[in-house]
Amino acid sequence: MKFRSTLICFLAISMALWGMAFGADKIIYSQNFDGLDDGAMDGQDGWVAAMGQATTTVQSNVALSGKAMMVEAFQEVSIIWPEPVESGTCYLSIFFNKEDADAGNTLHIYMGKGVQAWAAGTVIRIGSQSGGAIDDIGVHNGDPVEPVAKYVPQQWHHIREVIDVDNLTFTVYLDGKDVGKFDFRNPAAHDAIEWLFIGFDGGAEVLGYYDAIEFGLGKGEQAFQRATPVESAGKLGITWGTVKAGY
**Nearest-angstrom CA–CA distance, 39 and 200:** 18
Burial classification of residue 95, based on how many CB atoms lie within 10 Å of its CB (0-12 exposed, 13-18 middle, 19 or more buried): buried
For 198, list phi and psi in degrees, rounded to 5: -135, 160
This prediction has a pTM of 0.84
pLDDT in tens, the chain (247 residues): 444 444 334 434 333 343 444 458 999 999 999 999 999 999 999 999 988 899 999 998 776 668 999 999 899 999 999 999 999 999 999 999 998 877 788 999 999 999 877 789 999 999 988 888 989 999 988 778 899 999 999 999 999 999 999 999 999 999 999 999 999 998 989 999 999 999 987 777 888 999 999 999 999 999 999 998 754 434 454 443 344 333 3
In three-state secondary structure terms, 6 is helix
**Nearest-angstrom CA–CA distance, 114 and 179:** 28
Q: Where along the chain do its domains lie?
A: 28-245
**Which fold would CATH assign to domain 28-245?**
Jelly Rolls (2.60.120)
